[in-house]
């Protein structure tokens, strides 16, 4: 993991000063959005240990697939919120993560649900939708480079 590079979560901070801190100490994530951004970065770096550790034990799958490794491009947080009280300490993050798989531009959209237990946020569950984004020869790359997709992220 390149600690001096920009954090993949889209914060504009260096990874070392951002999600790395949460990967080392889960308690640094004070909101569901911070935890979700750290989980996204963990998927980018294939840091399965953190993904498992930040998943609520009541919904943790027996195995987390590591053979499906798309090339993650960027993350968009669409909405986030919390409803922290003694009865229902919960939160949500609605996000879209763009990725390339088999030279095809795709997006994963999820309404992710989180739960607060003993002062730590955990991923609980989510409604996930995968979609392919149609591209033409003129489609600009969503990474923001200004280049056409087929000459940018499709070729990396």
Report if residue 30 sits inside a domain.
yes
Percent of the chain surpassing pLDDT 70: 90
- Rounded CA-CA distance 57/13 in Å is 30
- The number of folded domains in the chain is 1
Report if residue 150 sits inside a domain.
yes
Report if residue 3 sits inside a domain.
no
- Rounded CA-CA distance 43/72 in Å is 8
Report if residue 67 sits inside a domain.
yes
Reduced DSSP (H G I as helix, E B as strand, rest coil) percent helix, strand, coil of the chain, to 5: 25, 35, 40
pLDDT in tens, 117-154: 999 999 999 999 999 988 777 778 777 778 887 777 77
Report if residue 43 sits inside a domain.
yes
Residue matched to tokens 């993949």: 8
Range of the domain at 110: 15-155
pLDDT mean over 51-57: 96
Report if residue 50 sits inside a domain.
yes
Are 112 and 123 in contact by the 8 Å Cβ rule? The answer is yes
- Confidence label for 101 from pLDDT (cuts 50, 70 and 90): confident
Report if residue 7 sits inside a domain.
no
The answer to pTM > 0.85 is yes
Report if residue 51 sits inside a domain.
yes
Whether the per-residue pLDDT at 83 is higher than 90: the answer is: no
Residue 115, pLDDT score = 95
- Confidence label for 155 from pLDDT (cuts 50, 70 and 90): low
- Rounded CA-CA distance 49/137 in Å is 39
Cα 33 versus chain centre, distance? 10
Higher-pLDDT residue of 1 and 94 is: 94
- Rounded CA-CA distance 85/107 in Å is 33
Provide the CATH number for the domain around residue 91: 3.10.450.50
Alpha helices in 46-121 (DSSP H): 48-53
pLDDT mean over 89-94: 94
């Amino acid at each position: 993991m390149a600690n001096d590079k920009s954090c993949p979560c889209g914060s504009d901070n260096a990874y070392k000063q951002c999600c790395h801190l949460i990967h080392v100490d889960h308690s640094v994530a004070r909101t569901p959005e911070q935890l979700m951004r750290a989980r996204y970065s963990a998927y980018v770096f294939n840091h399965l240990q953190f993904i498992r550790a930040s998943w609520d034990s009541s919904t943790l799958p027996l195995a987390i697939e590591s053979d499906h490794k798309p090339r993650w491009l960027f993350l968009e947080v669409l909405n986030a919120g919390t409803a922290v009280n003694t009865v229902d300490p919960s939160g949500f993050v609605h996000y879209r993560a763009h990725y390339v798989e088999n030279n095809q531009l795709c997006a994963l959209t999820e309404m992710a649900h989180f739960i607060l237990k003993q002062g730590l946020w955990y991923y609980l569950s989510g409604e996930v939708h995968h979609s392919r984004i149609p591209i033409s020869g003129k489609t600009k790359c969503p990474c923001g480079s200004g280049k056409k997709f087929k000459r940018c992220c499709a070729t990396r």
